[in-house]
Structure 1
């Protein structure tokens, strides 16, 4: 899944947060829904104008961002 085709960031849309192209649905919102226990099907029912590939692209985008982050250190 190439998230670049589905995720964009524009300072004029949602304060520049990454969103699903053509929407105001942020990657963060999608990730919070998933971690809140919602299934893909439930998310698609809540936001019928997105697709499963949009959800997967959101996860892929988040993974890509984390890949370039420093690791957490135990204290």
Structure 2
């Protein structure tokens, strides 16, 4: 599978080409969703039977940061429009 970031890879045959943690089938969005819902890194690791390391989980955060880093966001329909 081609790596698109440190510890993150994509393969059209795995999760419809969505990014996953390298050498697993765990989608990055799943890890981020769990973190966003307050699940701890250790609980995520336990849930995935230690298939994910702490560094894998942090790599998901770094990947998400890199994706939105250059994103331009514009308010729509504000009072000035």
- Flag the structure with more relative contact order, 1 or 2, with Cα contacts below 8 A and sequence separation at least 6: 1
Q: Which runs of 4+ in 1 moved over 3 A?
A: none
TM-score, scaled relative to structure 2: 0.82
The size of the alignment, in residue pairs, is: 73
Larger Rg: 2
Q: Following TM superposition, by how much is the alpha carbon of 1:68 offset from its aligned partner in structure 2, in angstroms? A: 2.1
In structure 2, list runs of 5 or more residues that go unmatched: none
**2:54 alignment partner, one of 44, 47, 52:** 52
More helix by share: 1
Match of 1:63 in 2: 65
Q: Distance in 2 between matches of 1:68 and 1:8?
A: 20
Distance 1:13 1:72 in 2: 33
SS of the residue corresponding to residue 25 of structure 1 reads coil
